[in-house]
Amino acid sequence: MNLSPFALIFVVIGAPAFIALVYIFVRGSAGLRRYILTRIVLTLPMVFILASLVFFVMRVLPGDPVSSALGPKGTPEMIQRVRAQLGLNDPMIVQYGRFLRDVVTFNFGNALTGGHRPIVDEMSERFPATLELVIPASILALLIGVYGGAFAAARRKKATDYALRLYSVVIYSLPIFWLGLMLQLLFGVRLHVLPISGRIDAVVGTSLKHVTNIYSIDALISGNWNAFRSAGLHLVLPTVTLGLILSGVFVRLTRINVIETFQSDYIAAARARGIRERVLVYTHALKNAMIPVITLIGLQVAILLAGAVLTETVFSWPGMGSYLVERISGRDYTAVQSVITVFALFVALISLAVDIIYSLVDPRVRY
C-alpha cells in the first residue's frame, strides 16, 4: 500500500500531535495516562458510528447512485456494468466491510463522474484550502469571543453587556452565506478593495509552487511576495465571514463561564483582598472560565465545518465544502460518502485533541 497525498497531510499534521501525545503520556501521572487511553478508545467508536451512519444513509434511503450518476444516457447494461465495478451488487454486509476497509486505508476509489480521478487526490488539493480558511477564522473567532465575553461579564447587566449579548444573538441569527454576500457587496462590488471569489489571482497563481497547497504558506516558503499578497487578500472576506459567525457563540460561552466563575469563593476572596476588578476579570476569572470554553471549542468544530461549506460555496473557495456540494450536484455518491467520512474523522480528531488539552489544563477531569 503506497501512502496517498491525503494521508500524507494527516501524517504531517498528526505527527507532531502524536509526539506530543507520547510525551504527555510518558511524563504524565497515572490518572492522566488512563484518561488519555480511555479517550482514544472512545474516539474510535465515534468515527465508526459516523462512518456507518453515512454508509447506511447512502444505501438504505431510496435512490440509485449509479443510474443518477450516469443520467438519462445510462443504458441498463451500462448501469449493470458500473454497479458490478463498484461492487454494488454484493450483499450489504460485504459492501460495508469493504467500506470500512477503505476508510482505514484511506483509499476511497475513483470519482464516479468528472474525470474519474482518485477521490483521495482531489481531496488532497481541497483539504488544505479548507484548512487555510478554517484556522485563521477560528483564531479570529476566539479573539473576538474571549475578549468580548469577558468584557460583557465584567459589565454584567450594564449597557455593554446587553449590547454584546445582542451581538451574539444577532450573529447567531445571521445566515452565514448572507453575511458573506453582504461583505462581497460592500467590499467587492461597492468599494472594489477586496476580491470576492477564489483563492488567488489566476495570473499570480501560475507562478506559485505548490508544496502544501496552503497557498499563503506556499508563497511564504518560496518567498513569492506577490502570491502571498494575493492569497492574503483573497483570504480576508471568507475568513472574516466565518470568524464573525463563530465569534457569537464564543462571546456567549465565555460570558456565561466568566459569570459563573465570578460567583465562586476564590473570586470573593480575591475581591476582599482589594484586587482591582479589571485584574479580577481578565486574569483570575478568565483563566478558569476558559476551561469549559476549551471543551466547547471541540463542539464548535461542527459549526465551523458547516459554516465552511456555505462560506466556500459563496466565495467559490475550492475547499472540501464546495467539493462536497459539487459532488452532490454531480450525484457522485462515492465521493460524497468519502468527503463526509473525512469530515467525521476530522471532527473526531479535533474533539480528541481538545479533550486531551482539557485534561492537561484542568486536572479535575482525569479522575
Partner 1 sequence: MATPQDTTQESAPNTGSWRDELEDVGFVRRVLISRLWYGPDWWFVAISAVMVAGFITLAIIPGAFAPYRPDVLVGPRFLAPNARPDLPVLVVGGSSNATQLRDLATLPGGERPSIGVLQGVPTAGALNQEAQSIDEQLKTEPEGLRLRPRIVRFDTLDATLQALQDGKLTAVVVRQLEFEQVAKQFPGLREGSPITGETATAGGFLLGTNEIGQDVFSRLIWGTRIALIIGFSASIVALLLGVPLGLFAGYSSGPIDRLLSLVMDSMYAFPGLILAIAITAVLGPSVLNVIVAIAVLYIPTYYRIVRGQTLAVKEELYVDAARSLGARSMEILRRYIFPNVIPSVAIIFSVNIADAILTGAGLSFLGLGLPPTIADWGIDLARGQRFIQTAWWMITFPGLAIMLVVLAFSMMGEGLTEIFNPKLRER
- The answer to whether 277 contacts partner 1 (rule: CB under 8 A) is no
Q: Give the one residue of 15, 17, 63, 268 binding partner 1; rule: CB under 8 A.
A: 63
Name the one range near partner 1 by CB under 8 A: 49-57, 108-116, 118-126, 231-239. 49-57
Name the one range near partner 1 by CB under 8 A: 84-92, 228-236, 269-277, 337-345. 337-345
Q: Give the one residue of 2, 75, 206, 329 binding partner 1; rule: CB under 8 A.
A: 329
CA 249 – CA 298 distance, rounded (Å):
12
Kindly give, in sequence order, each residue whose CB lies less than 8 Å from that of residue 77, ignoring residues fewer than 6 positions away.
none
- The answer to whether 317 contacts partner 1 (rule: CB under 8 A) is no
Phi and psi for 312 in degrees, rounded to 5? Answer: -60, -40
Q: How far is the CB of 209 from partner 1 (least distance, A)?
A: 32
- The answer to whether 305 contacts partner 1 (rule: CB under 8 A) is yes
CA 244 – CA 300 distance, rounded (Å):
13
Output DSSP code: residue 61: S
Name the one range near partner 1 by CB under 8 A: 31-39, 132-140, 235-243, 347-355. 347-355
Q: Report the DSSP beta bridge partners of residue 110.
A: 118
- The answer to whether 294 contacts partner 1 (rule: CB under 8 A) is no
Beta carbons of 320 and 123 less than 8 angstroms apart: yes
Binders of partner 1: how many residues, by CB under 8 A? Answer: 61
Based on CB atoms, which residue is closest to partner 1, 219 or 344? Answer: 344
All 3 cell numbers of residue 143? 479573539
Based on CB atoms, which residue is closest to partner 1, 19 or 182? Answer: 182
Kindly give, in sequence order, each residue whose CB lies less than 8 Å from that of residue 288, ignoring residues fewer than 6 positions away.
261, 264
Residue among 246, 237, 240, 238 nearest 145 (CA): 246
Phi and psi for 53 in degrees, rounded to 5? Answer: -55, -50
CA 316 – CA 297 distance, rounded (Å):
26
- The answer to whether 44 contacts partner 1 (rule: CB under 8 A) is no
- The answer to whether 149 contacts partner 1 (rule: CB under 8 A) is no
Kindly give, in sequence order, each residue whose CB lies less than 8 Å from that of residue 18, ignoring residues fewer than 6 positions away.
none
x/- mask, partner 1, residues 175-214, rule CB under 8 A, reads: xxxxx-xx-xx--xx------x------------------
All 3 cell numbers of residue 188? 467587492
Which residues sit at the interface with partner 1, rule CB under 8 A? 45-46, 49-50, 53-54, 57-58, 61-63, 156-157, 162, 165, 169-170, 172-179, 181-182, 184-185, 188-189, 196, 256, 259-260, 263, 298-299, 301-306, 309-310, 313-314, 324-325, 328-329, 331, 333, 336, 340, 343-344, 347-348, 351
